[in-house]
Amino acid sequence: METRLEKQPSVLKKGQRITLWTLFVLGLIMIVILIFVNVYINRSLPQTKGTIAVSALEKPVDIIRDNQGVPHLSASSDKDLFIAQGYVQAQDRLFQMDLARRQASGTLSEVAGKATVTQDKYFRTLGLRRAAEISYKSYSEDAKQVLEWYSQGVNAFIKQAEEERRLPVEFTLMGSSPKQWSPVDSLTIGKYMAFDLGGHWERQAFNYYLLQNLQQEKAEELFPVYPKHAPTILQQEPVDVTSSLEHAVIPHPHNGSNNWVVSGEKTASGYPLLANDPHLGLATPSIWYEMELSSPNYQVAGVIFTGIPGIILGHNEDIAWGVTNTGPDVQQLYLEKRHPEDPTLFLFEDTYEEAIVHEETIHIKGEEAIEYEVVETRHGPILSEFAKDSGKDTVLSLRWTALDASTELEAILEMNQAANWTEFEEGLKKFLVPTQNFVFASKDGTIAYKANGKIPIYESASDALVPLEGWKKENEWKGYIPFDELPTVINPEKGFIATANNKVIGDKYPYHISNNWAQPYRYIRIEEVLEENNKLTVQDMKNLQMDQQNLQAREFVPILLQHLQNQKLTTMERQGLEVLQSWNYEDDVSMAAPLLFHHWMNNIALHLFEDDVPDSMMEFFKGRGQLTDDIIRRASNGESLLMIEQQGGLDKLLIDSYQTTIDDLANTYGYDLTAWEWGEYHKVSFQHPLSNISYLKPFFNPQDPLPVGGSRVTVMAASYNQSTGIVNHGASWRFVADIGDLTSASHIVSPGQVGHFRSEWYHNQRKDWATGEYHDTHTSEVQGEKLTLLP
């Protein structure tokens, strides 16, 4: 007979069985959920094999993706080619395309909510989409047809993806779906690139602020400068600027690029070499998308912005080309006098003119839509009404070439088909904004350069420094520099042409182009390397693109050390000077000297400007690095400057900023200065726009940031956030071509081709970017995965 005590173990076993069964069921449910999520995510991966029916096509189009995910499109007609280009771009980058058109159009709030309302207001005010709509009317019927074919391809993918529930997962996460694509969407993205590379209205606003708030002599010391002996390619009424423009979206101050082309007389192959690396934001996905396009009228390879047809940079069978940003003064702020009783009337000469009023409805996810009014004078949109009132009677408007009708896509299509410089230059007549330094090389041996675009004529360079009185006819632009008078060089005697956003014109050039040029260090270094070698190779071009020689340090370290020689220093401070003195001026990832030098230069600038420039105006202070260099240079040569005097002299400025630098770095990286490394601070991560959401970061940015060399002043451009050290701007694409063999060219498109985080081509070029590992993209006998699009 069993006792109660003897039965107890069996009861416990039963409870244990129930618990284990519950855990098993829960575990099974979790596995099913994970499998479902995994299948759901993977089903949105782009299909790269087999066949897909696309109703708009007339004949099959073959798409071979090589081992880097670069699609090679082969079509029997131009119509099928551009339909397929739209389809394939949407396969790989639809979310990026949708986000780009929303940002440029001012419709982000529809999917992002109220956090982006201010940004949407700003882009509605600028009117990039309005400018795109105006531009569309200027295109030829042939170009409009290309835009329409491309849109058909994008829309074919959107329809299929929605029907098959294969939209990129980002749409699900944001609770949105893409609208149909239109030709104006493509042109709006093009206008956004003009915005990103556009001009200097921010600097005009800053200069105006200086004149309002500082004594004139000190304000003028802070106006833009350019080193006198640096080489070139060609030898009112107050407005509260701080409050009125505080929420403006400011493009990155270091948007620029490198490009150069070398004559066959200086190369090992006997043919020209061309290299280009545009410097833009570094993110996931890349701003660039690499492709090859083949049809009866096109045989071209290179890169394009997603959302746009054609190839903007690259090569065809006969020529290659690349660009850098010229940075001309194509934006002008105007002070406007508003009628005291009617806010839509503005004075011009002796008459009040009626402004155009655009009624904009901004839809906001989870909120009621808001009505927003944009006022546009004869000069352009009123920017000072964007955030706050800047005065009852005087406001700021913006005149900008990109807000006029322009035909860049037309130019791209003609450039893609050009076979020589004459044909290429003819295509450039239609490339109006943004103004770019084009370099060119062809199989016939020609190398050439042109600063191409729509550049206003100013009577005086000083006119472009500050806002002008908009009610005076004399302050209107005097037309544009004639196409045949734009800076141009063909087959120069020295055997090469290079640009790096430096000053491109000499003192004898008859027109003003810009008051704001990049520091000349990258250009000088490129020129040094190209001059010293007459047997240059493709590998030499790659090495130069990855060059980390810091010419700013080469100039200023001796000056800085000289002024600290007799200062009383601690052991660690003395050790820092010894590190700088023994430095080879390479911004090498493993060295302490770059970390010390760049922080010191930044602290010099902070000490110089913090008393006169509030934080709210700092991002308007374009060219701060150039100005800091010039102030040190002039003061070291004995010139008396108010900015230096208020610091107690140059010696005191340098010792104070140096001691601040040592203290800051020691607190962060420890007191063993010899163990410091540039790469501990200077790292690249290629952020996805959704990785700021913490639980999504492991998916979209699964790897730690990579330590990387270079800096904003080296040929290997790697500009960074000063507070974090994260590299967020630099060579968004690297390209080298030997014109003697245009069946292939070398590229880096980092972090990868495809926007889907599960793709093998998502982040596969991330390390390549940091180390300079190029891939060769071939245009004949291409091997890879084959997809056929069927009618």
Residue ranges of the domains in the chain? 551-585+592-676
Residue 484 pLDDT greater than 90, yes or no: yes
In terms of residues, how long is the chain?
Answer: 791
More confident residue, 255 or 735: 735
Q: Is the pLDDT of residue 385 over 70?
A: no
143-159 pLDDT per residue, tens: 999 999 999 999 999 99
| DSSP secondary structure code for residue 458 in this structure | -
Distance of CA 113 to the CA centre of its chain: 25
Residue 622 has pLDDT above 80, yes or no: no
For residue 37, what pLDDT band results from cuts at 50, 70 and 90? low
pLDDT at 218: 85
Which contiguous run of DSSP H or E holds residue 324? strand 319-325
| Own/partner pairs, 477-480, CB within 8 angstroms, 24+ separation | 477/332, 477/399, 480/454, 480/455, 480/456
Residue 232 pLDDT greater than 90, yes or no: no
Task: Report the share of the chain in percent with pLDDT over 70.
Answer: 90
Q: How confident is the model at residue 358 (pLDDT cuts 50, 70, 90)?
A: very high
Taking only the tens place, the pLDDT of each residue in 422-444 is 999 999 999 999 999 999 999 99
CA distance 322 to 33: 49
Q: 56 versus 211: which is more confidently predicted?
A: 56
Helical spans, DSSP H, in 232-286: 241-244
Each residue's pLDDT tens digit, 263-293 = 999 999 999 999 999 999 999 999 999 999 9
- 541 vs 696, which has greater pLDDT? 541
185-226 confidence digits (pLDDT tens): 999 999 999 988 866 778 888 888 888 888 888 888 888 776
- The answer to whether 374 and 394 have CB atoms below 8 angstroms apart is no
Q: Tell me which DSSP letter residue 598 carries.
A: H
Locus of tokens 């010696």: 651
- Minimum mean pLDDT range among 20-24, 255-259, 744-748, 759-763: 20-24
Instruction: Kindly indicate the confidence band of residue 384, based on its pLDDT and cuts at 50, 70 and 90.
Output: confident
Go through 200-232 and write b for each residue having 16 or more CB atoms within 10 A of its CB, e for each that does not. Answer: bbbbbbbbbbbbebbeeebbebbbbbbbeeeeb
In angstroms and rounded to an integer, the radius of gyration of the C-alpha atoms of the chain is 29
**Residues 61-74: what's their mean pLDDT?**
98
456 vs 385: which has the higher pLDDT: 456
Q: What is the mean pLDDT of residues 80-97?
A: 98
Burial class of 570 by CB neighbour count within 10 A (0 to 12, 13 to 18, 19+): exposed
Please give the mean pLDDT across all residues of the chain.
Answer: 90
Between 530 and 232, residue with greater pLDDT: 530
Helix ranges (H only) for 56-127 are 78-105, 109-112, 117-126
Apex 439 CA angle, 437 and 442, nearest 5: 160
pLDDT score, position 566: 83
Whether a cis peptide bond, with omega within 30° of 0, leads into 434 is: yes
| 374-379 LR contacts (CB < 8 Å, sep 24+) | 374/124, 374/125, 374/127, 375/343, 375/344, 376/127, 377/334, 377/336, 377/346, 377/353, 377/470, 378/346, 378/348, 378/353, 378/470, 379/332, 379/334, 379/336, 379/470
The answer on pLDDT for 572 being more than 60 is yes
Strands (E), 181-262: 256-262
pLDDT at 694: 86
